[in-house]
Amino acid sequence: MHLIPRELDKLTIAHLGLLAQRRLSRGIRLNHAEAAALISSVLHELIRDGHYAVADLMSLGRSILGRRHVLPSVWFTLRQLQVEGTFPTGTYLVTVQHPIAGEEGDLAKALYGSGLPVPPSDPFPSSDPADYDEEKAPGAIVLLKGKDGKPVPITLNEGRNRRCLEVTNCGSRPIQVGSHYHFIETNPKLLFNRIHSYGYRLDKPAGASVRFEPGEKKVVNLVEIGGHKIIQGGNWIAPGKVDPGNIKEIEDRLRSKGFCYDDKPVTLPVPEPCVMEREKYCEMFGPTEGDLVRLGLTNLWVEVERDYRKTKYYGDECNFGGGKTIRDGMGQTSNGSSGGEKGYTCADTVITNALIIDHSGIFKADIGIKDGKISGIGRAGNPDTMNDIDDGIIIGANTDVIAGENKIVTAGGIDTHIHFLDPGQVMEGLCNGLTTFLGGGTGPSTGSNATTCTPGPENIKRMIQACDDLPVNIGITGKGNNSFAEGLEEQILAGAVGLKIHEDWGATPAVIRQCLAVCDKYDVQCMIHTDTMNESGFVDQTLEAIGDRVIHTYHTEGAGGGHAPDIIRVVEHSNVLPASTNPTRPYTLNTVDEHLDMVMVAHHLSKEISEDVSFAESRIRAETIAAEDVLHDKGAISIMSSDSQAMGRVGEVILRTWHTAHKMNEQEGQLPEDREKYPHDVRVNNYRVKRYVSKYTINPAIAQGMSHLIGSVETGKVADLVIWSPSSFGTKPLQVLKSGMIAVSLGGDPNGSIPTIEPMIMRPQFATHVPRTSIMFVSQASKEKVEKEYGLKKTIEAVKHCRTVDTKQIQPTPKPDPVPLSKKHMKHNSEMPKMEVDPETFTVRADGEVCDVAPATALPLTQDYYIF
């Protein structure tokens, strides 16, 4: 066959395209991936037929599927499709704009090459116009409106001096000038009073431009440059700080270089400030302060709380591309270097105009990255020409740019319940927004299938070494089941970041007391999966053994394991950091039915043994699963995790977090915090969104002693960042960064002429080949040994403050008293209601109120996004 990689890559299109044709033929409306694959596959077949030119296929591609053949979301998201194929004249690009162009499409074309019969149109009802309202779009944006009901316009460069100039193109070719080009430095064939433009640029939206055709005369508005008012680059006509004392020298230079120069006095009036329609601003730079953004297809909307551009003024936004802002001497300083030996210290990478969703807020900013860490959050650019540029986000020749316009940035997700059974979990997790794995196991051993324990120093060492090339941060947990200290301590000294107590190894009070004592001694976390069988006692005896020491409880509801039926009571205790695993998130009509077989397989049970079946059945209670929804929404359960391949799905930690938030908003409405702050709009869920994003970012980082390095979008932290399209938020990211370097990204055919050629797939990128972009977390007691003896390429860091919090800020004394880590330190998830569980009916009450919700019958981030 002698195939090459691009041919194998395109087989993905053929396979999915045929699958989509089969589904279409039986009356199933297609989702985005299916529709894109079907159209791409048909185009490839038509290319192979050899009868069509590129222009023919660009038109034909718009007539294959109609709105009635696809889910409503597809009309919003599938706006362009690009394929390449081998024509009789070679390989060429076919671009189809708005592939879902009409209502009807053509089923015969859609099924071309499949061999399937063309079905009648009856299975496909006519589309409902209401489904295509702009606010129904995934990732929709609603702009801030004024009292007149119209979007509030954006005034650019407020408070700056302005001038008007008449400009004529005396050249024989068009001349186009960008917004931030120093106007005095423009093409020699532009005729105008150049001295009048000294220290000024076009008063246009950042990145916009003015075009002068040959012989054309135009009046342009100029605005004074900002910052230190230093001109660099261009034609080197007026370099240096703007100073009237330089005018004579500049005039001489203009004449000596033959620049067109009209020295007649300018009599044009001072222009009014440039005002930009809010719609246009949003298209170019994304939503700004006061605008609303819908998260995917959920019912969750967020309001932009703050825009660092609006804080001072709009008008110096940074954007990259032809004629855009980030060019030498404009938005990019000429006076900078990577190390700052001369001039400014410049960032390595800048993410521009991003909407950041974090526990700390929902705000718009540029993000600077330096040496793998976030160096600044605020306003990026060139301090020589722009006001209020943050020191950590200065753009220079050493700076790369990632466009964040109309994108959402979150901190990388942290999964603290990983069974290390298969290295393939890493790429699945990474492509779904997880950047940190904490857990245990040695591969698919019987013990590891059930417990997140890597038992013993040798196994710990080998697993740390085995994970060295995996492109995520890693923390390995040892087995905490030992009522004597020695076997526990040697695991921590070998590199374990914590110890896991699991009932399958015996979660007795003696084990709990000893494990916690060792964890206290070495400042590592203790995780626990309690005693479902109540063999050594009930939940009360476990709580008595724990005492007032901090502990992280896995699957706190109990379906994943724990005291039946009332382990959920632990959420009322301040020293318990409670988590969920994702199969029970949220409670749906299918949740209970899938769980029995999960338990039997994961915990090595037999359906032939009645006691094993009873053990499994005792875990699965609709009442406590429903209560788990309520407690998450109240902020009483602080953390979300997976339980990967051992009753959990590693790629769905983030997805199921937002499923839960959506479901609770649908059934319960706004949280009290949101009702109080946003009484004008019941859609706004900022507090709920901050509560839920905290569950897989900052809170697991705090619980596991990692929050000094990861867990939030914060200056000084490692730049593990996830970039989302608002339309697919919570499902499939666009890019994931590890230490500021792209680890995985949505990308097209590597042979493509441009990077957007189908198939568009999440693909590993260069950061996956640089182990130092990820961290191997170890205990402080083992750090020196691991560094010297294990031969790792990963960055090695110690966990800290697993038992007590950093008190430097809250107790600024030379030797502050230690403050135990507790649930009150969980961001937006620190509620501790008084809990009651009826042991017979399983009814759960929090502060006297029954915790009960109906199972969801449908959720939004499901069949619109996934093909299986």
Could you give the residue numbers annotated as active site?
Answer: 603
Asked if the bond preceding 99 is cis, omega within 30° of 0, the reply is no
If DSSP codes are grouped into helix, strand and coil, which group holds residue 343?
Answer: coil
Beta partners for residue 294, in sequence order: 301
Helix H or strand E encompassing 541: helix 539-546
Q: Distance between CA atoms of 357 and 276, rounded to whole angstroms?
A: 26
Q: Distance between CA atoms of 218 and 360, rounded to whole angstroms?
A: 48
What angle separates helix 32-49 from helix 5-25, to the nearest 10 degrees? 110
500 annotated ligand binder: yes
Q: Distance between CA atoms of 459 and 463, rounded to whole angstroms?
A: 6
563 annotated ligand binder: no
Structural Rg of the chain based on CA atoms: 30
51 annotated ligand binder: no
Helix H or strand E encompassing 351: strand 349-358
Contact 310, 289 (CB under 8 A): yes
122 annotated ligand binder: no
For 857, the token pair is 């019958």
Q: Distance between CA atoms of 729 and 733, rounded to whole angstroms?
A: 7
417 annotated ligand binder: yes
643 annotated ligand binder: yes
Strands 141-142 and 200-202: unpaired
Q: Which of 235, 240, 231, 220 is CA-nearest to residue 188?
A: 235
555 annotated ligand binder: yes
Please work out, in degrees rounded to the nearest 5, the angle formed at the alpha carbon of residue 410 by the alpha carbons of 713 and 133.
140
What would the 3-class secondary structure string for 461-515 be? HHHHHHCCCCCCEEEEEEECCCCCCHHHHHHHHCCCCEEEEEHHHCCCHHHHHHH
Longest dimension (CA), the chain: 101
Please work out, in degrees rounded to the nearest 5, the angle formed at the alpha carbon of residue 643 by the alpha carbons of 423 and 532.
140
Q: Which of 671, 669, 633, 658 is CA-nearest to residue 829?
A: 633
**Feature table: binding site for substrate:** 502
- Write out the binding residues for Ni(2+): 417, 419, 500, 529, 555, 643
